[in-house]
Amino acid sequence: MAVKKTLTALLEENKGRFISGEEIAEKLNCSRTAVWKAVNQLKEEGYEIISIKNKGYKLSENSDVLSEEAISRYLDGNYTIKVFQEISSTNDVLKKMAVTEHADQGTTIVSDYQLGGKGRLGRSFFSPKGTGLYLSMLLRPDGSVIDNLMLTAQAAVAVYRAIKDVTGIELSIKWVNDLYFNGRKICGILSEGQASMESGKMEYIVVGIGVNIYEPEEGFPSDIVNKAGSILGKRSEGRKIDRNELAAHIIMEFYKLAERKTLAPEYIEKNIVPGHDILVIDGTKVRNAHATGICDDGTLEIIEADGSKNILVFGEVSVRLDDKDEIL
Minimum distance from residue 46 beta carbon to ligand BTN (Å):
21
Which of 131, 136, 148, 299 is close enough to bind ligand BTN by CB under 6 A?
136
Cβ pair 320, 277 in contact under 8 A:
yes
Should residue 119 be labelled a site residue for ligand BTN when binding is judged by CB under 6 A?
A: yes
Should residue 299 be labelled a site residue for ligand BTN when binding is judged by CB under 6 A?
A: no
Nearer to ligand BTN, 122 or 265 (CB): 122
Residue range at the interface with ligand BTN (CB under 6 A); choices 13-21, 64-72, 208-216, 269-277? 208-216
Should residue 216 be labelled a site residue for ligand BTN when binding is judged by CB under 6 A?
A: no
Residue range at the interface with ligand BTN (CB under 6 A); choices 15-23, 89-97, 258-266, 302-310? 89-97
Should residue 128 be labelled a site residue for ligand BTN when binding is judged by CB under 6 A?
A: no
Should residue 134 be labelled a site residue for ligand BTN when binding is judged by CB under 6 A?
A: yes
Should residue 118 be labelled a site residue for ligand BTN when binding is judged by CB under 6 A?
A: yes
Should residue 230 be labelled a site residue for ligand BTN when binding is judged by CB under 6 A?
A: no
Minimum distance from residue 30 beta carbon to ligand BTN (Å):
36
Q: Compute the distance between CA of residue 191 and CA of residue 138 in angstroms, rounded to an integer.
A: 10
Should residue 190 be labelled a site residue for ligand BTN when binding is judged by CB under 6 A?
A: yes
Phi, psi dihedral angles at 162 (to 5 degrees):
-65, -40
Q: Give the per-residue SS3 of the chain.
A: CHHHHHHHHHHHHCCCCCECHHHHHHHHCCCHHHHHHHHHHHHHCCCCEEEECCCEEEECCCCCCCCHHHHHHHCCCCCEEEEECCECCHHHHHHHHHHHCCCCCCEEEEECCECCCECHHHCECCCCCCCEEEEEEEECCCCCCHHHCCHHHHHHHHHHHHHHHHHCCCCEEECCCEEEECCEEEEEEEEEEEECCCCCCEEEEEEEEEEECCECCCCCCCCCCCCECCCCCECCCCCCCCHHHHHHHHHHHHHHHHCCCCCCCHHHHCECCCCCEEEEEECCEEEEEEEEEECCCCCEEEEECCCCEEEECCCEEEEECCCCCCEC
Print the binding letters for residues 28-67 with ligand BTN: x by CB under 6 A, - otherwise. ----------------------------------------
Which of 58, 95, 120, 184 is close enough to bind ligand BTN by CB under 6 A?
120
Should residue 175 be labelled a site residue for ligand BTN when binding is judged by CB under 6 A?
A: no
Which of 117, 193, 216, 298 is close enough to bind ligand BTN by CB under 6 A?
117
Binding residues for ligand BTN, rule CB under 6 A, total: 20
Q: What is the CA radius of gyration of the chain?
A: 22
Should residue 220 be labelled a site residue for ligand BTN when binding is judged by CB under 6 A?
A: no
Nearer to ligand BTN, 187 or 202 (CB): 187
**Taking Cα atoms as reference points, which of 136, 283, 296, 292 lies closest to residue 205?**
136
Should residue 154 be labelled a site residue for ligand BTN when binding is judged by CB under 6 A?
A: no
Minimum distance from residue 251 beta carbon to ligand BTN (Å):
13
Question: Where on the chain is the footprint of ligand BTN (CB under 6 A)?
Answer: 89-91, 114, 117-120, 123, 125, 134-136, 178, 188-190, 208-210
